[in-house]
Amino acid sequence: MDLHLEGRRALVTAATSGIGKACAAALAAEGAHVFICARTSQALEYAGREIGAKGWVSADVTRAGDCETLVGSAADLLGGLDILVTNVPDPRTGGFGDTKDEAFNRAHEATLMSVVRLVRLVRPFLIDSRAGRIVNISSIAAHEALPGRLFSSTYRSALAAFSKHLSIELAPNQVAVNTIAPGNIMTPAWDEDSARRAAEAVPLGRLGQAEEVGALCAYLCSDQAAYVTGQTLAIDGGLGNTIW
């Protein structure tokens, strides 16, 4: 299937490994012109060349100034932007009893406000595109309260609500906004033993592959998915227990 992404201009954050890298690679493989970032520059050039990215810059998307530099650099190099894929740091684990306001503030800034700032900066380019796409990488914690994942459930669900509202607001400009909610996906963060135990709880009997999330991301950015907007799509091997 031709996703008609040839020449589309995409910015993907946190794209040196795992899901972010897989999303960037899937878009580049379909002919999109991809610009990537990560917090550390050590692996950035290597990942960029491996993906076939057109450009990259070191940026911490939890910092407003870095967001401005990132979007400006990407838009200048690519001549505008058609696609934004946000992939932000996973909030710390834990429950409510031992948390301070500072921990909530950090999670709020990293998980929600980093996306808000990126969208605000990219929005004019997507409106001009007339084929604009926003894909926010989230977690199944956006759908259900997971033990020990207070911050993820709180701010990932807020991100889903933000995306839904944004999809309505940007619909007249033909900008589609969706959220991907992965379950347990095999990334460098897993060791063999913990991955095996986690896979036992998944109905399909395995962890997902980052490339499978990347494929879903590419589809959501395609012409074929132009009528899909305002959705939070789980990709979890059947792990989630929610009906809707």
**Is residue 239 assigned to a domain?**
no
**Is residue 1 assigned to a domain?**
no
**Is residue 4 assigned to a domain?**
no
- Token match 């998915």: residue? 225
Can you give the pTM of this predicted structure? 0.94
DSSP string covering 3-39: ---TT-EEEESS-SSHHHHHHHHHHHHTT-EEEEEES
In the prediction, which pLDDT does 3 show? 94
**Is residue 243 assigned to a domain?**
no
**Is residue 241 assigned to a domain?**
no
Which among 231, 243, 223, 193 has a CA at the least distance from the CA of 83? 223
- End-to-end Cα distance, the chain: 28
- pLDDT tens for the chain, 244 residues: list them: 789 999 999 999 999 999 999 999 999 999 999 999 998 878 999 999 999 999 999 999 999 999 999 999 999 999 999 999 999 877 666 667 777 788 778 888 888 999 999 999 999 999 999 899 999 999 887 777 777 677 788 889 999 999 999 999 999 999 999 999 999 999 878 888 899 999 999 999 999 999 999 999 999 999 999 999 999 999 999 998 787 6
3-state class (DSSP) for residue 191: coil
In the prediction, which pLDDT does 148 show? 63
**Is residue 3 assigned to a domain?**
no
- Token match 């795992």: residue? 18
In the prediction, which pLDDT does 152 show? 80
Q: How far is CA 219 from the centre of its chain?
A: 14
Calculate ∠ Cα 213-216-197, nearest 5°: 30
Which residues, 6+ apart, have CB-to-CB distance to 70 below 8 Å? 11, 13, 37, 57, 59, 61, 118
**Is residue 189 assigned to a domain?**
yes
Domain of 14 in residue numbering reads as: 9-234
Contact criterion met (CB below 8 Å) for 152 and 90:
yes
CATH of the domain at 40: 3.40.50.720
**Is residue 124 assigned to a domain?**
yes
Which among 189, 187, 135, 122 has a CA at the least distance from the CA of 27? 135
Domains of the chain: total: 1
